[in-house]
Amino acid sequence: MADRALRGMQIGSKSLESEDGVVFADRFEAKYVCSNGHEFKIAMAFDAEPPATWECRCGEVAELVGEAAEEDESKNIKPQRTHWDMLLERRSLEELDVLLQEQLEAYRNGDLIFDTDYRRP
Ligand SMILES: [Zn+2]
């Protein structure tokens, strides 16, 4: 299981669990190559910073290569996608409007339930 975690899980047809009703967070795959030539990819959340190195299944330290590594250098030039941008890719403004109205109504009725995780003292 640990070995599998290191190589990363593939999302899609190989997944053992049903994806019905699951909304995946935007993600990308960071590619690593170890000194023994093993290549593997690790799925990361879109806004996660991929570590420069990752331990390969053979025990060697693998280095970050490819797009993710290059992106790191051009990060200051390339505009970051915001959470709002990502939201707009998943839902239309009309849908968001409906959700907003629902939330406003719940708020006015006093039964809006806040996620306690967001309430920091
Ligand atoms: Zn290796």
pLDDT by position in tens, the chain (length 121): 445 445 555 555 555 566 666 666 688 899 999 999 999 999 988 888 899 999 999 999 999 998 666 655 555 556 678 888 888 888 888 999 998 898 888 888 887 665 555 555 5
Please tell me the distance between residue 66's alpha carbon and the centre of ligand 1 in angstroms.
17
Q: Which residues contact 45 (CB under 8 A, 6 or more apart)?
A: 25, 26, 27
| pLDDT value for 61 | 95
Q: How far is the CA of 42 from the centre of ligand 1 (A)?
A: 14
Question: What domains, with CATH codes, occur in the chain?
Answer: 2-85 (2.20.28.270)
Residue with tokens 């996660």: 48
Dist. CA 11–CA 15, nearest whole Å: 6
CA–centroid distance, 97 to ligand 1, in Å, is 50
Q: Separation of 102 CA from ligand 1 center, angstroms? A: 52
User: For the residues of 37-88, what is the DSSP string, one character each?
Assistant: --EEEEEEETT----SEEE-TTSSEEEEESHHHHHHHTTTTSPPPPHHHHHH
CA of 12 to the centre of ligand 1 (A): 25
**Cα–Cα distances in angstroms (integers) from residue 35 to residues 3, 58, 60, 62, in the given order:** 18, 10, 7, 7
Q: Residue 20, Cα to own-chain centre: how many angstroms? A: 18
pLDDT score, position 58: 97
Ligand 1 mean position, distance from CA 98 (Å): 50
Q: How far apart are CA 5 and CA 13, in angstroms?
A: 17
CA of 121 to the centre of ligand 1 (A): 46
- How many angstroms is it from 38 CA to the middle of ligand 1? 5
